[in-house]
């Protein structure tokens, strides 16, 4: 048996499978590079630049032979292998070999009745046929773990195929995955760009289709961000559950205008009484902030639809949207929604004493484990930049490859004065960071010579979109979470890269002490870096008390922090608990 999420993915693949264009499936073969158009993936046949993406074991040396499959299916499997590598995934060679072998047995048993394409049968039918074929040959069913691996890999490949060959509008899909479908419009730097959204959580068709169109228009016009789309889906999904069993027939909700407000007040009462179903607060009531967010997102959804009701009715072929009236323009009056409580700063601000201890132990982050450190040079650089610049951790983690811009032909130590040679406190450049919180706000900050000496910038422009790399932590991210240019669980540094730029970057990273990091993909979730390094950073203050840290480094960083006003009124932004 598979989990609920896997079952939902299989259902989505089945719904999208019938919309696939056979001609597109045939054209996928032309997208595979010539060296990867193979009928046998083995150590001796796969080009070296792609070999690092395969699990190296006995199966890899023997090879995965596709010749027993029909030609269309061979092309589809070869494209899926290349596509997984292109997306930064890892090819589970034993699982691929097992899947190919079982597919060959099913095709041999069905003779002329076997489908020539991988999309010829649903995922569940393929699994059922594989179980029958194994039972016919061995007299027993395959192990549950074996079937789980086969089902997961088969679903993954069929998901890639239906995404590439679905000729319908992208926004009408019940699952949006910008990582696999680049037609989804996103901001240039989208912190949540790796994460997909599921509209199939909303059972009411007119509500789900309307939300899809609302999010599509919002993304295309820039009025919605990808993180807001996530919020909208959660809120409308909650509203969909509330409407269940209430006899709501269409977007107008109720037949009488006066009943609309009554219904929405009942929804607010539903939120107040709703218990939390997961997390540390399980069993407790929703927080005021959660109630306000859910209710206001539903209200904003309807505000958009009433402003565009004619266009929505035409685009969705749902005339019910035209019945929206003034009663749908605002469900709640001022003061009815719970207010957002002011955040408590207790424990969320790093005071001067704590910052002095942290900066005093920064060398422990970068020092090797053999020398008593953590071997985490990137966490050291991130922490130093946070201390020097006073920016959010997410803004530091999303820095571009070359974030430094020239300040002026001469770098002034103070306004109007040129910088003296060797002046460490002189402002020499501007650092461009990702301003994702406030539209139109400045996205640069002057920096001192100390920052410029760190040679901020990716050594290979062809590899990484972001300056910092994403650390590899087993059991924290699955292969399907990896981004372009990333290796999920590769071998030794340099051997897990699929292209020469990746290999060169990995070797360079190894020399710099970054061999345990992966390159960030466009839109990678930057907070993973903080999570991965949080234990190291949180221990620095304690260990620095017993270490012989460099007083010069401590004074320099602390002094520059004060120069950039980090310890002044901006301390709430600068030393927020996200650092820890």
- Decide: helix, strand or coil at residue 249: coil
Q: Are residue 372 and residue 499 in the same domain, yes or no?
A: yes
CB-based burial, 436-446: b 16+ in 10 Å, e otherwise = beeeeeeeebb
- Decide: helix, strand or coil at residue 404: strand
| CB contact at 8 A, 432 and 444 | yes
Round to whole Å and give the CA distance between 189 and 543.
Answer: 36
Last residue of a domain, one of 140, 168, 196: 168
The pLDDT value recorded for residue 466 is: 52
Model confidence band, residue 510 (pLDDT cutoffs 50, 70, 90): very low
Q: Are residue 176 and residue 162 in the same domain, yes or no?
A: no
| CB contact at 8 A, 146 and 130 | no
Q: Is the pLDDT at 506 greater than 70, yes or no?
A: no
Q: Are residue 181 and residue 158 in the same domain, yes or no?
A: no
Which residue range forms the structural domain that includes residue 180?
A: 172-328
Round to whole Å and give the CA distance between 176 and 165.
Answer: 15
* Domain contains 343: no
* Domain contains 9: yes
* Domain contains 131: yes
* Domain contains 138: yes
162 vs 410: which has the higher pLDDT: 162
Residues 6+ apart with CB under 8 A from 563: 425, 448
Q: Are residue 471 and residue 534 in the same domain, yes or no?
A: yes
| CB contact at 8 A, 481 and 336 | no
| CB contact at 8 A, 484 and 87 | yes
pTM: 0.68
Please work out, in degrees rounded to the nearest 5, the angle formed at the alpha carbon of residue 181 by the alpha carbons of 178 and 186: 40
Model confidence band, residue 424 (pLDDT cutoffs 50, 70, 90): low
Residues 6+ apart with CB under 8 A from 271: 238, 286, 290, 291, 294, 295
Tell me what the mean pLDDT of segment 140-155 comes to: 93
Tell me what the mean pLDDT of segment 268-283 comes to: 89
Q: Are residue 155 and residue 190 in the same domain, yes or no?
A: no
Region at 473 (left for phi over 0; alpha for psi -120 to 50; beta for the rest):
beta
Round to whole Å and give the CA distance between 390 and 274.
Answer: 39
Q: Is the pLDDT at 282 greater than 80, yes or no?
A: yes
* Domain contains 447: yes
Last residue of a domain, one of 294, 328, 362: 328
269 vs 448: which has the higher pLDDT: 269
Q: Percent of the chain, pLDDT > 70?
A: 72
Model confidence band, residue 191 (pLDDT cutoffs 50, 70, 90): confident
* Domain contains 339: no
295's tokens: 């209710």
Model confidence band, residue 357 (pLDDT cutoffs 50, 70, 90): confident
Max mean pLDDT among 193-207, 366-380, 406-420, 556-570 falls in 193-207
Q: Are residue 211 and residue 149 in the same domain, yes or no?
A: no
Q: Are residue 435 and residue 526 in the same domain, yes or no?
A: yes
* Domain contains 333: no
Round to whole Å and give the CA distance between 7 and 184.
Answer: 24
578's tokens: 């996200």
* Domain contains 344: no
Q: Are residue 376 and residue 466 in the same domain, yes or no?
A: yes
Tell me what the mean pLDDT of segment 317-328 comes to: 94
Q: Are residue 43 and residue 142 in the same domain, yes or no?
A: yes
Last residue of a domain, one of 122, 142, 168: 168
The pLDDT value recorded for residue 310 is: 95
Of 52, 47, 121, 59, nearest to 93 by C-alpha is 59
Judged by average pLDDT, the poorest of 301-310, 423-432, 433-442, 471-480 is: 471-480
274 vs 529: which has the higher pLDDT: 274
State the total domains in the chain. 3
Q: Are residue 292 and residue 319 in the same domain, yes or no?
A: yes
Q: Are residue 483 and residue 388 in the same domain, yes or no?
A: yes
22's tokens: 């056979």
Model confidence band, residue 472 (pLDDT cutoffs 50, 70, 90): very low
Q: Are residue 152 and residue 203 in the same domain, yes or no?
A: no
């Amino acid at each position: 048996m598979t989990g609920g999420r896997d079952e939902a993915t299989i259902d989505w693949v089945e719904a999208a499978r019938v919309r696939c264009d056979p001609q597109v499936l045939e054209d996928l073969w032309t997208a595979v590079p010539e060296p990867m158009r193979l009928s046998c993936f083995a150590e001796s046949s796969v080009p070296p630049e792609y070999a690092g993406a395969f699990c190296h074991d006995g199966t890899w040396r023997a090879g995965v032979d596709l010749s027993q499959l029909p030609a269309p299916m061979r092309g589809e499997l070869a494209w899926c292998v290349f596509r997984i590598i292109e997306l930064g995934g890892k090819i589970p060679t034993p699982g691929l070999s097992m899947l190919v072998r079982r597919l060959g047995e099913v095709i041999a048993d069905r003779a002329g009745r076997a489908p020539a394409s991988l999309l010829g049968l649903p995922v569940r039918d393929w699994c059922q046929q594989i179980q029958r074929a194994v039972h016919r040959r061995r007299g027993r069913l395959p192990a549950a773990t074996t079937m789980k691996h086969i089902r997961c890999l088969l679903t993954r490949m069929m998901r890639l195929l239906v995404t590439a060959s679905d000729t319908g509008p992208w926004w009408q899909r019940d699952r949006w995955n910008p990582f696999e479908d680049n037609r989804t419009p996103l901001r240039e730097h989208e912190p949540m760009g790796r994460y997909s959204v599921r509209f199939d959580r909303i059972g009411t068709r007119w509500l789900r289709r309307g939300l899809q169109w609302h999010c599509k228009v919002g993304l295309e016009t820039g009025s919605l961000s990808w993180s807001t789309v996530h919020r909208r889906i959660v809120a409308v999904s909650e509203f969909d559950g509330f409407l269940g069993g209430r006899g709501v027939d269409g977007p107008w909700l109720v037949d009488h205008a006066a009943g609309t407000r009554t219904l929405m007040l009942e929804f607010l009462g539903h939120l107040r009484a709703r218990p939390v179903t997961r997390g540390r607060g399980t069993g407790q009531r929703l927080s005021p902030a959660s109630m306000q967010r859910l209710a206001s997102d539903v209200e904003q959804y309807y505000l958009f639809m009433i402003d565009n009701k004619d266009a929505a009715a035409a685009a969705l072929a749902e005339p019910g949207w035209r019945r929206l009236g003034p009663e749908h323009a605002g469900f709640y009056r001022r003061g009815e929604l719970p207010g957002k409580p002011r955040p408590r700063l207790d424990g969320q601000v790093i005071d001067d004493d704590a910052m002095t201890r942290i900066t005093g132990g920064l060398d422990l982050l970068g020092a090797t484990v053999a020398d008593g450190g953590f071997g985490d040079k990137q966490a050291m650089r991130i922490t130093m930049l946070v201390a020097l610049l006073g920016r959010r951790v997410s803004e530091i983690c999303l820095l571009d490859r070359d974030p430094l811009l020239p300040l002026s032909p001469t770098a002034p130590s103070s306004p109007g004065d040129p910088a003296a040679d060797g002046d460490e406190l002189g402002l020499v450049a501007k650092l461009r960071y990702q301003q994702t919180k406030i539209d139109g706000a400045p996205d640069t900050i002057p920096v001192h010579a100390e920052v410029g000496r760190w040679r901020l910038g990716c050594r290979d422009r062809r590899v990484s979109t972001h300056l910092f790399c994403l650390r590899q932590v087993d059991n924290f991210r699955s292969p399907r979470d990896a981004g372009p240019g990333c290796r999920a669980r590769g071998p030794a540094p340099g051997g897990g890269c699929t292209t020469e730029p990746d290999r060169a970057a990995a070797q360079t990273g190894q020399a710099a002490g970054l061999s345990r990091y992966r390159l960030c993909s466009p839109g990678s979730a930057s907070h993973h870096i903080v999570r991965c390094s949080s234990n190291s950073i949180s221990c620095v203050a304690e260990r620095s008390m017993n270490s012989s840290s460099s007083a010069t480094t401590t004074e320099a960083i602390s002094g520059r922090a004060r120069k950039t006003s980090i310890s002044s009124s901006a301390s709430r932004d600068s030393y927020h608990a996200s650092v820890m």
